[in-house]
Amino acid sequence: MVSGRNVWLGFGLGCFFYFAGGVLFGFWELVWHLDPDVSLADLFYILSYVFLGWGMVLAVTSKRLNLEIWQWAAILGVAVSGTALAVWVADPSFFGLVGSEETVVIEQVAPETTAPSTTSTAAPAVMSAAEEEAEEETTAPGWVVGLDRKLEPLATGVNLFYIIGDVFLLILATALILAFWGGRFSQSWRMIAFATFSLYVADMYFKWTDSRGQGEYESGGLLEVFFVFTGILFAIGAVLEYDISTRSRQSRRGRRGSGKS
């Protein structure tokens, strides 16, 4: 490969782990009807971010970025806007644009403080009954349910990693577009950058529906098509890169053959 084997090794491993995470996520949601905050699929998603980021960093650092001032300003603007959008999507009340749901619940529950104490004891019983009913509905093995419970305390850290990872990949994708625009390998790297943009849009939609729906996320949304676009665009970028590499090898062999003759 012209851009380096390590670069595409990172992309290949990243896509593989992302695919494996998607398969596990499908089992958790569609087969076992589970919706944990953190599952085994997140481990593979995290590895996909790590390897995709590694490949993109190698691609950017292997080229000397002679960017103009407006291009650096564009990268800075993407970084700031991408971070702000990711934080707001993860917590809509962060910037005060959307009211916190907890305050509404407190206002509704406050007048009922004079009710008899039996209602307060009945609430945990209802919650436990609902949890038992949810456990009975799932057909997941016991080790799966137990693993989800053990991973639940990691939800905050995992979500924070996704936010940082999405913004980091978004910045690298912007740098790739500006660095390779109009060059010899511009077509393949445009596809890689657009794949990263597509992943960012899909993840933001996922976090938006999850935060607004109080964790009741369900697959099948319209914008989830960007998850599909991500894999397709990465594949197109790899094919274009392979085509360029093959042509360059053939041209070198042709020059050597003509030189010997």
pLDDT tens per residue, range 23-36: 999 899 888 988 88
What residues make up the domain containing 149?
Answer: 5-95+141-260
Give the pLDDT score at 252.
54
Is residue 105 assigned to a domain?
no
Is residue 130 assigned to a domain?
no
* Cβ count near 37 (within 10 Å): 16
Give the pLDDT score at 206.
83
Is residue 202 assigned to a domain?
yes
How far apart, in whole angstroms, are the C-alpha atoms of residue 38 and residue 257? Answer: 58
Is residue 118 assigned to a domain?
no
Cβ burial, residue 226 (10 Å; 0-12/13-18/19+) = buried
Is residue 22 assigned to a domain?
yes
Give the residue from 18, 5, 41, 2 showing the smallest Cα distance to 233.
18
Residue with tokens 């991408």: 82
Model-level pTM?
0.75
Give the pLDDT score at 137.
67
Number of domains in the chain: 1
Is residue 116 assigned to a domain?
no
Is residue 127 assigned to a domain?
no
Collect the ranges in the chain with pLDDT lower than 50: 97-107, 118-123, 125-127, 129-130, 133-134
Is residue 227 assigned to a domain?
yes
Give the residue from 184, 175, 211 showing the smallest Cα distance to 72.
175
Cβ burial, residue 130 (10 Å; 0-12/13-18/19+) = exposed
185, 66 Cβ separation under 8 angstroms: no
Q: Which two tokens stand for residue 201?
A: 């849009």
